[in-house]
Amino acid sequence: MDVVVALLRGVNVGGAARLPMAELRAAVEACGYVDVSTYVQSGNVVLRVPDGHPTLGDGDAVAEAIRRSVAASTALQPEVVVRSLEELRDVVSGNPFLDRSTDPTHHHVVFLAEEASLGGVDPSEYAAEDAVAVGREVYLYLPGGIGRSKLAATLSRGATATGTARNWRTVTRLLSMAEELASG
């Protein structure tokens, strides 16, 4: 069985796109996934893809199955990005900014469905803030937080790929949950 993490974009943000986590879990279970759990109210799901399931080993297929299931049971059509346990381990171990600060509020990751890019944005123009594209992630170092970040706003405006951001505390907690599920 594969353990994967699914990240839904724009769920329960600012009072919009309301999706109770019980409904999200039910939609994911309707896809045939097992051991489904959610973390906080923003569309973070940890699950197992059982052996023999048609989406086993295919993160894009898992993402599409979840998107369709949520759309079928709600009025929402969220974008979904999936990472395997191993991919999430690589995301956490590959954070290029941990040497600058261990404060988890300074670190964010944008998970993308395709290869990451800064789209020509030069992070050096944004004072203490920084960004690096690695694989399918954009790592953000935002000592003032994401809400006031000019760099994050600029990157968001220029984004062309499907993606969703998570703070570092959420990223590391999802990794912990996925590792617990894999070892259980």
What's the pLDDT at 158?
79
Distance CA 159, CA 136 (A): 13
Phi-psi region of 182 (alpha: psi -120 to 50; beta: other; left: phi over 0): alpha
| Tokens read off for 46 | 């940890």
Q: What is the 3-state secondary structure (H, E, C) of 64-93?
A: HHHHHHHHHHCCCCCCEEEEEHHHHHHHHH
pLDDT at 17: 82
Q: Which residues, listed in sequence order, are joined to residue 6 by a DSSP beta bridge?
A: 45, 82
**What pTM, to 2 d.p., does this model score?**
0.95
**55 vs 101: CA distance, rounded Å:** 38
Cα separation of 95 and 65, whole Å? 29
Q: State the pLDDT at residue 1.
A: 78
- Mean per-residue pLDDT over the chain, rounded: 94
Q: pLDDT digits over 17-29, tens only? A: 889 999 999 999 9
Q: Which residue has the higher pLDDT, 16 or 182?
A: 182
Task: Let me know: does 109 contact 137? Beta carbons within 8 Å.
Answer: yes
pLDDT value of position 91: 98
According to the model, what pLDDT value does residue 126 have?
95
Residue 108 has pLDDT above 90, yes or no: yes
Contact 11, 81 (CB under 8 A): no
Across residues 136-156, what is the average pLDDT?
Answer: 94
Residues of the chain with pLDDT > 70, as a percent, come to 99
Average the pLDDT over 64-82 and give the result. Answer: 95
> Given a cut of 90, is residue 15 above it in pLDDT?
no
Q: Which domains does the chain have, with CATH numbers?
A: 2-87+172-183 (3.30.70.1280), 91-166 (no CATH)
